[in-house]
């Protein structure tokens, strides 16, 4: 989840032309801004850096609000958002200080003063937990249920798909974010040691599997009473289609960037993981489509008629005293 803090790395250290320059903020030896010189202008600058210099994260956040409020309503969206932010803040600061749950890493101290922070983590990092968790949740429901219903037959099918999609996003986004110096993200974070997945340690993947499990469990609990409804019009009319598209957007725009900056192995891995998953999904959806169900019903009807015919034939044969 370190990726989302990186969009502000390009935030300008100076004010725009024609504006009054703000007073520089003195730094302590730890890289923190001295609060004694932090004024209103500094806070507004940090808010601007958080919102505007990470425009794509802001867009994903707005998309989350749009889809989640339509689906969950304001109250449940607020409950989920507050808990997700809290989980993200605890997990990220825990990793920075004690190496749990994502192993030890640190954020670029030069980002301080350019955006809002909570502890030793940029604020938009835990904020991103809200939309990454929800997009995986809603997309997982669609993949598991198919385009013609809103719920799968079993809840665990939805949960498993959502969990895979949540961790999958991290597999693509985090390795590319480490290359921020090569494109607009800038230098964002660094791990203490090397890792097996393009420099990311196994503990990072396992840790996010844990936190995403917590977020998804909350979402499934909040929606535990939702019934399965038919969807007229197929995929494009499905209530979670927008979330599925947005999940792809957040993953594959980073994969394309990987090709642009020359990290072909990372970008290629993203697409290679997607192809078999998409093929399996297409086969599964075809097997549960209305046409497939009609064919199954017709086949069952024919089989039933055959069995009735055979039973009637045997009854007549017995009545006539004809042995089989």
Min mean pLDDT across 14-28, 102-116, 154-168 is at 14-28
The answer to whether residue 284 sits within a structural domain is no
Q: Is the dihedral of CA 186, 189, 192, 195 positive or negative?
A: negative
Q: Is the dihedral of CA 176, 127, 225, 294 positive or negative?
A: negative
Domain that holds residue 49: 2-9+41-262
The answer to whether residue 291 sits within a structural domain is no
CA–CA distance, 75 with 223 (Å, rounded to integer): 12
* Res. 13 pLDDT band, cuts 50 70 90: very low
Residue 128, CA atoms < 13 Å, CB-side half-sphere: 28
The pTM is what? 0.80
The answer to whether residue 96 sits within a structural domain is yes
Tens of pLDDT along 25-53?
444 434 454 444 445 568 888 888 888 87
Tens of pLDDT along 58-92?
999 999 999 999 999 999 999 999 999 999 999 99
The answer to whether residue 24 sits within a structural domain is no
The answer to whether residue 213 sits within a structural domain is yes
The answer to whether residue 18 sits within a structural domain is no
Tens of pLDDT along 119-162?
999 888 899 999 999 999 999 999 999 999 999 999 999 999 99
CB-based contact 272:161 (threshold 8 Å)? no
Beta bridge partners of 230: 149
The answer to whether residue 182 sits within a structural domain is yes
Backbone phi and psi for residue 291, each to the nearest 5 degrees, phi listed first: -65, -45
226: nearest Cα among 150, 307, 124, 160: 150
Q: Is the dihedral of CA 208, 211, 215, 216 positive or negative?
A: positive
The answer to whether residue 215 sits within a structural domain is yes
Instruction: Please tell me which residue, 226 or 51, carries the higher pLDDT value.
Output: 226
Domain count, the chain: 1
Neighbours of 271 (CB within 10 A): 15
pLDDT of res. 241: 97
pLDDT of res. 140: 98
Neighbours of 37 (CB within 10 A): 12
């Amino acid at each position: 989840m370190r990726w989302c803090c990186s969009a502000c790395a390009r935030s300008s250290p100076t004010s725009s032309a024609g504006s009054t320059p703000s007073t520089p903020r003195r730094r302590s030896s730890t890289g923190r801004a001295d609060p004694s010189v932090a004024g209103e202008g500094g806070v507004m600058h940090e808010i601007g850096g958080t919102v505007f210099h990470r425009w794509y994260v802001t867009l994903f956040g707005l998309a989350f609000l749009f889809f989640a409020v339509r689906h969950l309503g304001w109250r449940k969206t607020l409950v989920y958002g507050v808990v997700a932010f809290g989980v993200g803040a605890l997990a990220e600061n825990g990793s920075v200080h004690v190496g749990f749950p994502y192993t030890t890493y640190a954020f670029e101290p030069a980002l301080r003063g350019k955006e809002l922070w909570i502890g030793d983590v940029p604020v938009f990092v835990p904020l991103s937990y809200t939309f990454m968790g929800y997009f995986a949740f809603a997309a997982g429901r669609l993949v598991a249920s198919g385009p013609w219903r809103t719920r799968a037959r079993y809840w665990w099918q939805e949960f498993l798909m959502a969990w895979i999609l949540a961790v999958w996003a991290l597999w693509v986004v985090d390795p590319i974010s480490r290359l921020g110096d090569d494109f607009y993200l800038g230098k964002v974070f660094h791990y203490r040691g090397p890792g097996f997945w393009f420099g990311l340690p196994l503990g990072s993947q396992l840790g996010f599997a844990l936190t995403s499990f917590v977020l998804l469990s909350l979402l499934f609990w909040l929606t535990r009473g939702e019934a399965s409804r038919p969807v007229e019009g197929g995929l494009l009319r499905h209530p979670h289609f927008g979330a599925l598209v947005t999940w792809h957007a957040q993953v594959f725009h980073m994969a394309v960037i990987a090709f642009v900056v020359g990290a072909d192995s990372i970008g290629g891995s993203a697409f290679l993981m997607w192809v078999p998953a998409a093929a399996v999904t297409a086969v599964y959806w075809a097997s549960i489509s209305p046409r497939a169900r009609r064919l199954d019903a017709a086949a069952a009807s024919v089989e039933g008629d055959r069995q009735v015919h055979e039973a009637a034939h045997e009854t007549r044969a017995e009545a006539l005293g004809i042995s089989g």
